[in-house]
């Protein structure tokens, strides 16, 4: 339900962040380092990166915890419990075979590797634009 509610917004934000980081980085290289505009753009870029990191970190933590939960349930003293509890535990563990993965746009997983790949692609586009600007 959470993914269905926010997947489009997060997808647009992930895709837009690549362009925004690239353009803002390019503007930062043009602007005087002592100006207010320089610091406001730097602040904007850091805010965008921290918001993106928050999405990816939370998605990664959810995936990790959902993977660990199945093992933790198995390690509880289930063999000492009654049949109803064991049946419920079995059903829960069967449903937990696949970890919970939050995705943006239903296909981009929110994880730390996704955050790193967004940073890499942003820097690549920035380097190309910066090289074109200098020529």
* pLDDT digit string, tens, across residues 24-52: 888 888 888 888 999 999 999 999 899 88
Q: Residue 108: name the closest of 94, 122, 98, 118 by CA.
A: 118
Instruction: Write out pLDDT tens, residues 58-98.
Output: 889 989 998 888 888 888 887 888 989 889 888 888 888 88
d(CA 30, CA 20): 15
pLDDT band at 57 (very low <50, low <70, confident <90, very high): very high
- In this predicted structure, the answer to whether residue 2 has a pLDDT above a threshold of 70 is no
Integer Cα distance of 20 and 38 in angstroms: 15
Q: What is the pTM of this model?
A: 0.76
**Residues in the chain, overall count:** 135
- Compute the CA torsion angle 70, 72, 73, 76 (nearest 10 deg): 160
């Amino acid at each position: 339900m959470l993914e269905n509610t926010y997947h489009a917004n997060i997808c647009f934000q992930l895709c837009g962040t690549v362009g925004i980081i690239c353009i803002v980085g390019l503007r930062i290289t043009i602007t005087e380092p002592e100006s207010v505009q320089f610091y406001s753009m730097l602040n904007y870029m850091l805010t965008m990166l921290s918001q993106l990191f928050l999405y990816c970190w939370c998605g990664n933590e959810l995936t990790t915890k959902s993977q660990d939960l199945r093992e933790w349930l198995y390690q509880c003293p289930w063999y000492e419990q009654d049949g109803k509890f064991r049946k419920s535990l079995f059903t829960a563990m069967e449903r937990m075979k696949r970890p919970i993965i939050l995705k943006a746009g239903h296909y981009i997983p929110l994880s730390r590797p996704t955050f790193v790949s967004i940073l890499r692609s942003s820097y690549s586009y920035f380097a190309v634009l910066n090289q074109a600007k200098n020529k």
